[in-house]
A = this chain, B = another copy of it.
Amino acid sequence: MMLKKVLLSGFAGLAVLAVGILIGHFGIEKGSSAPSWMSDLSRDVDEKLIQDGAASTHRELTRVPHMATTAGDEATVQYMLKNWQDTDTGLDASWREDYRVYLSFPNRDKPNNVSVGELCVEKAYQSEQDDPEVVQPYAAYGPAGEVKGRLVYANQGKASDYETLNATLSLTGTIAIVRYGGAGRADKAINAAPFGVIGVLVYTDPYDINDGLMSDENETYPHSWYLPPSGVERGSYKNHFGDPLTPYLAAKNGTYRIPVENITGIPPIPIQPIGFEDAQALICDVTLHLYNRGELRDSANVMGVIWGSVEPDRYVIYGNHRDSWVHGAIDPSSGTAVMLEIARVLGQKVKAGKWRPRRTIIFGSWGAEEFGLIGSAEYAEEYVSKLSQRTVAYINVDISVFANATLRASGSPTVQNVIFKVNIPGSDSVSVYDNWIRYSNRTSAAYGNIPNVGHMTGAGSDYASFVHYLGITSLDISYTYDRSTTRARIYPAYHTAYDTFDYASTYIDPGFTSHQTVARTAGNVLIRLADGLLLPFNCSDYAETLEQFVSTAAEAFEAQLVANGISLEPLKAAVKRFRTAATSLDRTIHNSDLLLLLSGRPLRARMINDQLMLLDRAFLDPLAFPNKYGYRHVIWASRSSNVATFPGVADAVEKARASGRKEDWAQAHKHLSIVTQAISGAAHTLAEAQR
């Protein structure tokens, strides 16, 4: 519709394929003679009609840079609203919600520079890279400052990297140059400061991102997907998610704001990202001149809703951010295009009166994600009660296609089952499932060899507030690499001026077929969650994960814990209790004579659904991690330790092992009790709620 014809070659087929994700014969039919409440109660998802889905609108979204709160961003706000308010294909309602948030920008008049000259500007291979709205590379939330010092190579800027270096030379007064990866962006500076380092340069190493290739004459973009020498990865150098001035409060006008100097989790010393061309040229002593500055800006989320017919007070939320660093063709527009397509297909059915989901579907186009998941975090803070009480699941599709080899998914163990059931045809004749299991698999005690669904332990995209802060069952879906052919840390143009429509359509997903596959998969998952009479969650799969965590913990720590007078038995007993309760609930669900449910026990179905919906909520402990902003989920919180088990326990044991202090072992015991109580409490919620 809004696509330029000249660019439509890859899309032409999609417009045709794009219809028909759904809609079953159980849908509410106008003029049916049965009483409407009967169909309300009995309607279930119809699998046969979940078939298709695809992406469009990508070109329009990526025409200009649309960094958060810029004019380009506002244009995407208007574009989303126009689509979602369309009378034929729009949603029931769509609106914007603004927050006043603290962002950080470079100074257009005084570009950041290093040493005597200015940094290389990212070389223009296409007119888009010349757009004056392309923001110069910088470290958002890094302080302004002018520092001069001897340059020292500090690997990835991990704490251990600086420690190692410091053993042989004094880092006081030096400027560290580190490569991306290994440590969080802000941490590269936070780790450095205690050693007297006064500034940090962060470069993208061709080994990490380009499989070693470096020449833009024949090797890198526009000759391939690899990053040109002048390309620079921008990014938010801030550890906590959400607006930094309003922790745990929605950033409205009049909201209390902490003083800027009290922000934690940001670089205490000047820091600047550079390309490998500049990195190569640097020698010995360097000077950084950085002019970044913080600003309060209005950032918008765009919301859209399809009201549920039977359970309007149950929400399935589907979201992605809208803001990019530059044109953001892949990050985030590959996801936004998928979201728009799914919304369009569903909206069309709703507007035509042909279908309405059992539960309410909410679409969220988040603002200012690139600055630290800000839009989604503010939304979670403002609506904390309502979302906690009513949300069935959150589906995140940010970068929908990193590469076009295979599906990738991460999420709560309970949704593994949902994703596996969406076994749609992929490209060639191989199904998405069969293709996926070839690239990434694991052995499950219950199922044997299955695709590997990852854990959501980090805060890499907008799911963070939903899973970690609100305890909402979440999942994240994308298409990704063939790891046997590249070791690229991420797609090479990530957060650079080269992440354009041309790049995406030429090198990432020619024909946009993987976009289609993700749209079908995510759309199908969305409908299963929104339309199933019973939620398709499998709580026994959570038990499998907990058992795995316990056995890992036992193997890694038990002897030492016992030597310190701490027993793992209460934890083991809690997991056993959880398994028993999950098995019993599973049996109830599978023994359920569906007809019985259909013929007048809607509250029985609701009871089971509430048990499933609220399962992840039972793992929240708002006091478990006082030093980790926003993390409350005791199973999925971030973890420093390499031992893949309960994060609070793993990190506390690691600390106690290192120090040997009795108080530190006591903290390990405390974290064991916290997680034991949470698992035990979750088991209580799964146990039968009646005679």
Chain A interface (Cβ < 8 Å from any Cβ of B):
35, 37-38, 40-41, 92, 246, 248-250, 252-256, 259, 307-308, 310-313, 360, 381-386, 389-390, 567, 569-570, 599-603, 606-607, 610-611, 614, 617-618, 622-623, 666, 669-670, 672-674, 676-678, 680-682, 684-685, 689-691
Contact = CB atoms under 8 A, between A and B. Distances in A.
B602 A385 contact: no
A677 B312 contact: no
Given A567-B254, A691-B307, A37 B614 contact: no
Contacts of A672: 256
Given A382-B681, A385-B684, A622-B622, A313 B254 contact: no
Contacts of A685: 385-386, 389
Contacts of A259: 666
Contacts of A37: 599-601
A689 B623 contact: no
Contact of A312 (B40, B385, B607, B669): B607
A308 B691 CA distance: 9
Contact of A681 (B253, B255, B383): B383
B255 A673 contact: yes
Contacts of A622: 622-623
Contacts of A92: 691
B673 A249 contact: yes
Nearest to A680: B382
Nearest to A311: B603
Contacts of A308: 690
B386 A681 contact: yes
Contacts of A253: 570
| Complex copy number for this chain | 2
A252 B573 CA distance: 12
6 contacts: A256-B669, A312-B690, A360-B689, A382-B681, A386-B684, A389-B617
A313 B690 contact: yes
A162 to B, nearest CB: 33
A104 B40 CA distance: 59
Best-buried of A250, A255, A386, A672 by chain B (most CB within 10 Å) = A386
Contacts of A390: 689
B256 A381 contact: no
A416 B3 CA distance: 60
A617 B690 CA distance: 24
A381 to B, nearest CB: 7
Contacts of A610: 313, 389
Given A255-B673, A569-B254, A623-B622, A310 B684 contact: no
Nearest to A681: B385
Contacts of A381: 677
Contact of A360 (B360, B674, B682, B690): B690
Nearest to A35: B600
A105 B684 CA distance: 34
A532 to B, nearest CB: 15
A254 B571 CA distance: 10
